[in-house]
């Protein structure tokens, strides 16, 4: 059985004061039956790791460089994330693909670095509204998977997040059938490439305007093993509602 995952991406939000929300989250879930992950900005990583120590919550990064060290001003390596207390790192988020013009080969290199360092790579895939309307969704997802996922991927070091770009932060959500179609497609592609053992062990999470009011129905969809949540993860109360919905599946 794949253990469910509720992951929160704080993006470029949060100063030290936001750690109180993290403390509240830890207190609300002392014995969680699902994995809980929060990915704060890099400035909070070490303090966040100290805050969650001994709790059911773990900490992750939002990006890493493909190199382990070097002349890369402003970047952070996978080894640095690990040293700061991270267990995972988000890679290939649509905001990185668009704002920083990251391509599949860049994401693959970063994922290799993350896995080599001992981090779980949460690789994001997703289509734009134009691609969805042109019925190209599965072709886009398949291409992103082929280009972004390293050959060394396993169920222990890889998590895939399906995030339709047009649904992130917009309040728009694909139909349950549309979510299921993509997650089933991702599962089948993983099994074909890596074999049934690895293919069935990789967790697939959904992201895109997930909130307490719609979480339960999304989590009931085939091959949805949890969520990668943006804005709703910034407040412990909102994220708790999503976690509880996941625990009830």
- Cα(28)–Cα(25) distance, integer angstroms: 5
Q: What is the mean pLDDT of residues 141-157?
A: 98
Burial of residue 4 (number of CB atoms within 10 Å: 0-12, 13-18, 19+): buried
pLDDT above 90 (res 69): yes
Mean pLDDT calculated for residue range 47-66: 98
User: 19's torsion region: left (phi>0), alpha (psi -120 to 50) or beta?
Assistant: alpha
- Percent of the chain at pLDDT above 90? 94
What pLDDT does residue 1 have?
82
> For residue 126, what pLDDT is reported?
96
pLDDT greater than 90 at residue 197: yes
- Determine the pLDDT at residue 75: 97
Query: What number is the average pLDDT over the span 13-28?
Result: 98
Task: List pLDDT tens digits, range 93-140.
Answer: 999 999 999 999 999 999 999 999 999 999 999 999 999 999 999 999
Question: Is the torsion defined by CA of 219, 224, 226, 230 positive or negative?
Answer: negative
| Mean pLDDT, the chain, whole residue set | 96
- Mean per-residue pLDDT, 46-64: 98
Instruction: Identify the DSSP state of 92.
Output: S
pLDDT for residue 29: 96
The pLDDT of residue 225 is 98
- What are 154-194's pLDDT values in tens digits? 999 999 999 999 888 888 889 999 999 999 999 999 999 99
Q: Name the region of 167 (left: φ>0; alpha: ψ -120 to 50; beta: rest).
A: alpha
Segment 79-85 shows an average pLDDT of: 98
With cut-offs at 50, 70 and 90, classify the pLDDT of residue 146: very high
pLDDT value for 113 = 98
Count structural domains, the chain: 1
Here the CATH number for the domain that contains residue 130 is 3.20.20.70
Q: Which residues contact 71 (CB under 8 A, 6 or more apart)?
A: none
Q: What distance in Å separates the CA atoms of residue 89 and residue 148, rounded to the nearest whole number?
A: 14
Q: Which two tokens stand for residue 82?
A: 């690990």
pLDDT tops 90 at residue 90: yes
Give the model's pLDDT for residue 181: 97
Positions annotated as catalytic residues are 93, 163
Query: What is the residue range of 160's domain?
Result: 5-247
Predicted local confidence at residue 186, as pLDDT: 98
pLDDT of residue 168: 83
- What per-residue confidence (pLDDT) applies to 172? 83
* Cα–Cα distance measured from residue 199 to residue 145, given in angstroms and rounded to the nearest whole number: 13
């Amino acid at each position: 059985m794949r253990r469910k995952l509720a992951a929160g991406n704080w993006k470029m939000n949060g100063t030290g004061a936001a750690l109180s929300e993290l403390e509240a989250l830890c207190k609300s879930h002392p014995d969680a039956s699902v994995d809980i992950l929060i990915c704060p900005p890099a400035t909070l990583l070490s303090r966040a790791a100290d805050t969650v120590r001994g709790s059911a919550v773990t900490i992750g990064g939002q990006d890493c460089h493909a190199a382990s060290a070097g002349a890369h001003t402003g970047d952070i390596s996978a080894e640095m994330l690990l040293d700061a207390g991270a267990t995972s790192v988000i890679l290939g988020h649509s905001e990185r693909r668009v704002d920083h013009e990251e391509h599949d080969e860049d994401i693959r290199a970063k994922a290799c670095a993350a896995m080599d360092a001992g981090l779980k790579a949460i690789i994001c895939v997703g289509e734009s509204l134009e691609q969805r309307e042109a019925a190209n969704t599965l072709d886009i997802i398949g291409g992103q998977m082929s280009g972004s996922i390293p050959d060394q991927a396993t169920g222990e070091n890889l998590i895939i997040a399906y995030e339709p770009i047009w649904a992130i932060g917009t309040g728009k959500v694909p139909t349950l059938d549309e979510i299921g179609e993509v997650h089933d497609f991702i599962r089948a592609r993983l099994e074909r490439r890596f074999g049934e053992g690895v293919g069935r062990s990789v967790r697939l999470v959904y992201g895109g305007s997930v909130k307490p009011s719609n979480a339960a129905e999304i989590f009931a969809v085939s091959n949805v093993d949890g969520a990668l949540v943006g804005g709703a993860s910034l407040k412990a109360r909102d994220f708790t509602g999503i976690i509880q919905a996941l625990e009830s599946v």
